Structure 1
Amino acid sequence: MNDVNVFIAFSKKETALAIAKMVISSGYRVVSVSTNIVDTIHNVSYYKDGVIICDCGKNGAYLKEAIYDLSDDFSVVVIGNREQLAGYSGDRIFKLAVPLKKNDLMCSLDMLSTVESTYVPTINSKNDDEKKMIDRAKRVLIDVYSMTESQAHRYMQKKSMDTGRKMADIARIIIET
């Protein structure tokens, strides 16, 4: 079992339960399932890190404010249509557009959990191959999560500093997941 704390908040109970079932069947620990972001934020306060998976529906207005109050050790996967997702930005926000495929969500969770877990670092100094790998990882973040180039760079830089790994290692994790 993966030891990432996963919190789920969807405006429709059926959707929340379906997402929870999908996440659990993939080996993740779901610690909270609710139909509003307020309950989820309350539950998050008992944990030091994790991933919140939520929709932009009726939670949208409060969600935007709540994200900025979260600890830096939390990431948020926001699911919605492209118009709704356009209103979200930040280093810890990952946007997935509907229709959502199970594989897209699981790959996102895998990437977020792998970046936090132990990983064997590379020994070489930064060379052209590493720079190309970093650029490819930025492209993945831009394409998959609708980040800007600077948001993708800041995300990778922050993960690099938080985990003590080189940016090339973080880039490799992103590309491999």
Structure 2
Amino acid sequence: MERVVLAFENENTSRKVRALLEGAGLARGLICRTAAEVRLLLGQQQIPTVVCGYKLPDATAEELFFDLPAGRTMVLVAPENLLSLCGRSDGLVTLSTPLSRNALLEGVERALGLAQSVRLSVRPAGEEELIRRAKEWLMEQRGMDEGQAHRLLQQRSMICGRKLAETARLLLEREAGLALYG
């Protein structure tokens, strides 16, 4: 079961949302009382989604949203007039109150799905660097353009059943004679 952060001005609301999410088997809720606690927790753990009300004691949800680490999503639960103040952004799911149980579950499920798709599409910086270096080597040594170098790496990856970054690392170690670790 995925974990989510719950942050509402009223802690009783957080407990009710946690009970609903856990009872449905959708997510385990970790309760935070302030935006600062949310930021700290997200900085320490890979929790994909924050479910919150519009106002926290130390920040608005909008301020918190722009501080979220890359790839994280937010479900904002608030009255329609407050939701209209928020711009539409990728990774932000807005739910108007009063809220039904099903609407909350669907909104959290949608936000978790968005976070999952972002996580799958984003490579770690180290992998991007390996791929970039392998393409540069192919371009220099074999006179390829970047597209050709990328396609060659992709073809080798598919033939060998490896991730693109692993193929790039092997190319740099074996053919370019570079010693890489990790």
After TM superposition, the score normalised by the length of structure 2 is 0.57
Residue type of the alignment partner of 1:27: G
1:30 Cα shift? 2.6
Q: Which has the larger radius of gyration?
A: 2
Residue 87 (str. 1) matches residue 46 (str. 2):
no
**Residue deviations 1:71-108, cap 9 Å, x none?**
22210000111111122222111110000111011112
Q: Secondary structure at the match of 1:66?
A: helix
Residue 105 (str. 1) matches residue 64 (str. 2):
no
**Residue deviations 1:31-88, cap 9 Å, x none?**
5202322212211111234110000134584432222221222100001111111222
Task: Check 1:37–1:91 CA distance in 2 against 1; reply closer, same or farther (3 A cut).
Answer: same
State the alpha-carbon separation in 2 of the partners of residues 58 and 33 from structure 1.
13
Q: Which has the higher contact order (CA 8 A, sep 6+)?
A: 1
Residue 20 (str. 1) matches residue 18 (str. 2):
yes
Structure 2, unmatched stretches of 5+, are 124-182
Task: Check 1:84–1:24 CA distance in 2 against 1; reply closer, same or farther (3 A cut).
Answer: same
1:160 Cα shift? 10
> How many residues end up aligned between the 2 structures?
122
Task: Check 1:91–1:37 CA distance in 2 against 1; reply closer, same or farther (3 A cut).
Answer: same
State the alpha-carbon separation in 2 of the partners of residues 58 and 35 from structure 1.
7
State the alpha-carbon separation in 2 of the partners of residues 55 and 66 from structure 1.
11
**Residue deviations 1:155-174, cap 9 Å, x none?**
xxx8598279xxxxxxxxxx
Moved over 6 A (4+): none
Identity %: 15
Contact 1:32-1:43 within 8 A present in 2 as well: no
After TM superposition, the score normalised by the length of structure 1 is 0.59
Contact 2:42-2:69 within 8 A present in 1 as well: no
Q: Secondary structure at the match of 2:5?
A: strand
Contact 1:50-1:74 within 8 A present in 2 as well: yes
Task: Check 1:161–1:31 CA distance in 2 against 1; reply closer, same or farther (3 A cut).
Answer: closer
Q: Secondary structure at the match of 2:37?
A: helix
Equivalent residue, structure 2, for 1:162: 121
RMSD, aligned CA:
2.7
